Amino acid sequence: MGIDHRGFVSEKEKSSLYSKSKVFIFPSSMEGFGIAVAEAIYANIPVVAWKLPVFEEFYLKDNRIKIKLIEYGNYNLFANECIKTLNEYGNAKKHDEGKRAVFQIPSWQTVAKNVMTTIDSVI
């Protein structure tokens, strides 16, 4: 089907994959926060995902965020929105050239260190 499931990837490979992406399709319906969606949005990649309360709460308040939330279970609309978003990529690319973020995602060790530093400063 042309799906390349990578499983776990390094932070360097993840950054490279995001930088090459046209659209971030997120078909999971059982998410807490959805860090991958946040990373894709940060990288200025359009996202298509199910309409989950967490995504509505965080992302629908800002109209600059490119996210399309589809009512869960409407598989035809989900597929159509994915195709539509991919087709829009060519048009948007002309206008967004150079706007895509190149970012370095901090390692979990760095995040943990920052959290511990914050906790230590409060104690």
Would you give per-residue pLDDT tens digits along the chain (123 residues)?
Answer: 677 888 888 888 988 888 889 999 999 988 777 788 988 998 899 999 999 998 988 888 888 889 999 999 999 999 999 999 999 886 655 555 555 555 566 677 877 787 788 888 877
**In terms of residue numbers, what domain contains 80?**
11-122
What is the CB-side half-sphere exposure of residue 74 using CA atoms within 13 A?
A: 13
Domain assignment of residue 27, yes or no: yes
Residues facing residue 70 across a β-bridge: 50
Q: Is residue 6 part of a domain?
A: no
Q: What is the pLDDT of residue 91?
A: 64
Split into its structural domains, the chain has a count of 1
* CA-based nearest residue to 52, from 78, 71, 75: 71
- Model pTM score: 0.71
Residue 70 and residue 77 in contact, taking contact as beta carbons nearer than 8 Å: yes
Measured over all CA atoms, what is the biggest interatomic distance in the chain, rounded to whole angstroms? 54
- Domain assignment of residue 89, yes or no: yes
Nearest to 96 by CA among 12, 19, 29: 19
Rounded Cα gap, residues 59 and 66, in angstroms: 9
Domain assignment present for 94: yes
On whether residue 1 sits in a domain, the answer given is no
Contacts 24+ apart (CB under 8 A), 62-69: 65/41, 66/41, 67/37, 67/41
pLDDT recorded at residue 52: 92
Q: Is residue 106 part of a domain?
A: yes
